[in-house]
Every structure is written in structure tokens, then in C-alpha cells.
Amino acid sequence: MANEGGKNTSGRGQRELKVKVKTAKGRKLSSTRWLERQLNDPYVARARREGFRGRAAFKIVELDDKFRFLVPGARVVDLGCAPGGWLQVAVDRINALGAKSGKRQGTVLGVDLQEVEPLAGAEVHVLDFMADGADDQVKAWLGGQADVVMSDMAAASSGHKQTDHLRIMALCEHAAWFAFDVLAPGGTFVAKVLAGGAEGELQGLLKQRFTKVHNVKPPASRSDSSEKYVVAMGYRGAPEERAADEDDA
């Protein structure tokens, strides 16, 4: 119903209607719920409109809007970079294509266990970052140390909450140790973790090696997910390395 001014007073059209998906024959209920969630997720729709390869791109957008680590001229490594949404954001923000006049041109390097669709402005390699010599290989590709190491990796779900938590925390710890080997002084490490009790050791390790460690759940992270992100800034190196430097000074 409309009032005399022509405004809609019925309440209809004031919000988007949710899409309901019926469970098709042969399809699991969990698959139906996933499809329904995707169809009703505003970040999924926005990713399509803006040309991102997935909704996860908005997580790194929101983290960088807050902490400003993807700056023009930065050298960025994205671990487990498929399908490439984080790469897309990094390419634009660090000026990897040199499109921003007067700004330094950065470098974006992505590594993954699988082939990733090529992306202009990013160099992507098939590599197991946990393999021996992977850190040296990445530094060779970069031509030096990295300013940012970031990871949105998650281990394959087993369906058991505690097991999945331990798996993703182990993956995050591997990513952190890789970052220690390739980061330049002052660098930043960004990674997905799961809340659940086993992240204390990682937090302690990061606090020893970075000047600031933030734990954030960006708006793009689904509210029903236990994921959050750690943003460790100002890489200082290992405590024993700093002590040796002080003795030499």
C-alpha cells in the first residue's frame, strides 16, 4: 500500500527477500544449506558485481582498511593463494601494475599446491611452502625479503570441531615460521586462525617477534564461523637474534 506521498508504507521492498532452496533428490541437507547461504550472502553478490574471485577478498580489504599494511611498493607473499581473491586486492593496493602515477610499484607473489588462474600483476607458482628450501625459493622470486606474508588457508574439514581447530592452527604455525624466514624488519604477518583454545602458543610466539599483534574478526567473516585473523605488525626477528645484535653494537 502507498500513502498520498507515493511512499511504500507496507514494509515490502524495504529489505531483500531471502532465497529458500529446496533439498533436491540425492543432495545432502548440508549442501542445500550451503547453497542457500551462498545465495543470500551479500558479500557473495558483491564479489560478483566487483569482479572478485570470491567473497574472501573482502576480508583482506577490511583488514587492510584497518591496519594499512598493503601499501604501494610493498612486496607481498600470499600463501595458499587459490582462487586468487586476496591476490586481486593486493595487486591493486600495492600498485603492482604501476597504474597509480607517482606511487611506488610493488610485487605480489602467490604460492599454492594447485594451479591458479593467472592474474595480471601477480606472479603465481605451484609450491609447497612447507617444503625444504621453499623460503629461499620465494626470496629468489621476490628478489629479496617480503614486507607482508598473508594466509587465508584452512585445512580440509574433517567434521570434528576440535580436530579441525588443531589442523588449522598447525597450518597457521607453519605459515608463521615461514614468515619468520622471509619477512624484512618491520614486516607484517596476516593469517586466519580458529578460536578454540590451541592458539595461545602461536600468540606468544608472535608477541616475541612483532611489536604489535592484533586479533580481529572482520565484518566479512561469517558470524557463525569461529574464524578470526591475526595481524602481527613490526617484525623484530627472534629474541636471540636481537640479543646478538645488541652484543655486536
Domain assignments of the chain as residue spans, ordered by start: 21-50, 56-248
CB 201 within 8 A of CB 170: no
Is residue 192 part of the annotated active site? The answer reads yes
Instruction: Summarize the confidence of residues 177-196 as an average pLDDT.
Output: 93
Binding residues for S-adenosyl-L-methionine: 84, 86, 112, 128, 152
Instruction: Summarize the confidence of residues 12-27 as an average pLDDT.
Output: 46
The confidence score (pLDDT) of residue 242 equals 59
Among the ranges 33-37, 115-119, 237-241, which has the highest mean pLDDT value?
115-119
User: Of 7, 25, 139, 192, which residue is the catalytic one?
Assistant: 192
Show the cell assigned to 168: 588449522
The H-assigned helical ranges of the chain are 29-40, 42-50, 57-67, 85-93, 134-142, 161-182, 200-209, 239-248
- In this predicted structure, the answer to whether residue 121 has a pLDDT above a threshold of 50 is yes
H or E segment to which residue 227 belongs: strand 227-235
The confidence score (pLDDT) of residue 36 equals 46
The confidence score (pLDDT) of residue 248 equals 59
Strands 107-112 and 146-151: unpaired
Q: Give the CATH H-level superfamily of domain 56-248.
A: Vaccinia Virus protein VP39 (3.40.50.150)
Instruction: Summarize the confidence of residues 104-124 as an average pLDDT.
Output: 97
The confidence score (pLDDT) of residue 198 equals 58
- In this predicted structure, the answer to whether residue 20 has a pLDDT above a threshold of 70 is no
